[in-house]
Amino acid sequence: MKRIFTGALLFMFVLGIGLPKAEAAESSTELASDARSAVLIERDTGKILYDKDSNVELPPASMTKIMTMLLIMEAVDKGKLSLNEKVRTSEHAASMGGSQIFLEPGEEMTTEQMLKGIAIGSGNDAAVAMAERIGGSEEAFVGMMNKKAKELGIKHTKFQNATGLPVKDHYSTAYDMAVMAKELLKYEGKITRFTGKYEDYLRENTDKKFWLVNTNRLVKFYPGVDGLKTGFTQEAKYCLTATAKKDNMRVIAVIFGAPSPKERNTQITKMLDYAFSHYQTYPVYKRGEKLAEAFVSKGAKSRVTGVTGEPVSILTKKGESKKGISKKVVMNSNLKAPVEKGDRIGTLMVQKNGKTISKSAIIANTTIEKAGWWKNFKQSFGMFTGSH
């Protein structure tokens, strides 16, 4: 098998497309005048297209469930949870107020059904039931939420629960919420089949059939919108993290603190219209495409394949001239087993004129367990003799 070089790999795109500097909408263009804060980003590059006080810490209400859904999807992706696994509802989960799907203590639903309840109906009870299944307790799951936030590099978010129900010291920002949404949308198709549904049912074929109607009305009324999550409390007012896709371009728009659902939807619509009328993207990679291999020491296998951890695209303003773009693949050189599927093992950099304009994770496409003592001995001997 031909060995793939795992250092830096640099070559020019055939497309030869240039990327402008990240620019917010012109100051004269006020897209979210009646919101407390707002942000608009392109999903693949993460470039900010519009910003209004996007780092102000505010209560996120049920948009909190974006992180809850992200941890659910990660558990499914890594094989730690299946969509058809039945999840039991505890007394604590069933006691949640606010939006709910009216789970009873001891009631079981599959992960898929729970996701419907969270994504479409904003069920607090379903969110806590899943938190307890993944974390062992809601408190432990909240620890996972905050840990993931740190991994994503966001600095103005702190979770106290899995639902967004009002509680002291629970906050986020428009920008942080956009980053979480960007990460969740790595599972485009898998998650948007829930968040993009306007209506569905739970407990079908029973006398307790439950009708779900999406709290995000734009799913029905704005072409291309397929998520992600609304939020409302008296303190937070009307919030929405929305995503829409048109042609090859997916954008994320976040609103905090709109005075009414109508104003929230109107301002999200303005931001989406602005993005699609002013920008375009050129896809480079889909998620899961093979890039390179990396050596793994003390592993049952000595090499692991690195794949793209998310879709990768180039963003330009419409009508902008296309110039040379390059990409650089850098694999970690000090990997030690065990390596878990989905672990970051390298970095893909898109560059313009030698300057890095975007970075994304290269992840392991399989798990590499630790080797037994005999395998380790042979690897060590091979390294000593230079024959590895």
Which residue(s) pair with 245 in the sheet? 250
Of 103-117, 192-206, 286-300, 311-325, minimum mean pLDDT range: 311-325
Distance CA 375, CA 317 (A): 53
CB within 8 A of 168, min separation 6: which ones?
A: 160
pLDDT at 382 over 90: no
SS3 assignment, position 378: helix
Amino acid code (one letter) for 3: R
Identify the pLDDT of residue 220.
Answer: 96
Identify the pLDDT of residue 153.
Answer: 95
How many angstroms separate the first and last alpha carbons of the chain? Answer: 14
* Helical packing angle, 174-184 and 65-77, nearest 10°: 20
Each residue's pLDDT tens digit, 311-327: 988 888 888 765 778 88
Which of these, 55, 54, 51, lies nearest to 25 by C-alpha position? 51
Each residue's pLDDT tens digit, 156-208: 999 999 999 999 999 999 999 999 999 999 999 999 999 999 999 999 989 88
Mean pLDDT for the chain overall = 88
At 21, the pLDDT band (50, 70, 90 cuts) reads very low
SS3 assignment, position 285: strand
Mean pLDDT of 274-279: 96
Q: What ranges in the chain are assigned the alpha helix state H?
A: 65-77, 91-94, 111-119, 124-135, 138-151, 174-184, 192-195, 218-221, 261-278, 373-385
**How far are the Cα atoms of 53, 216, 241, 269 from residue 257, in angstroms, in the given order?**
12, 15, 12, 16
Only one residue has tokens 């899995």, namely 162
At 388, the pLDDT band (50, 70, 90 cuts) reads very low
Burial 145-175 (b: 16+ CB within 10 A, else e): beebbeebebebbebbbbbbbeeeebbbbbb
Burial class (CB in 10 A: 0-12, 13-18, 19+), 203: middle
**Which strand (E) or helix (H) includes residue 294?**
strand 290-297
Higher-confidence residue of 359 and 193: namely: 193
Each residue's pLDDT tens digit, 226-262: 999 999 999 999 999 999 999 989 999 999 999 999 9
Distance CA 209, CA 192 (A): 23
Higher-confidence residue of 52 and 353: namely: 52
Mean pLDDT of 26-35: 74
Active site residues: 62, 65, 122
Mean pLDDT of 97-123: 96
Identify the pLDDT of residue 205.
Answer: 87
The structure's pTM equals 0.85
In residues, how long is the chain?
A: 388
SS3 assignment, position 380: helix
For the chain, domains (ranges, CATH) are 8-18+286-385 (2.60.410.10), 37-282 (3.40.710.10)
Angle at 96 between CA 90 and CA 100, to 5 degrees: 100
Count CB neighbours of 206 within 10 A: 8
Which of these, 152, 128, 156, 154, lies nearest to 142 by C-alpha position? 128
Identify the pLDDT of residue 17.
Answer: 33
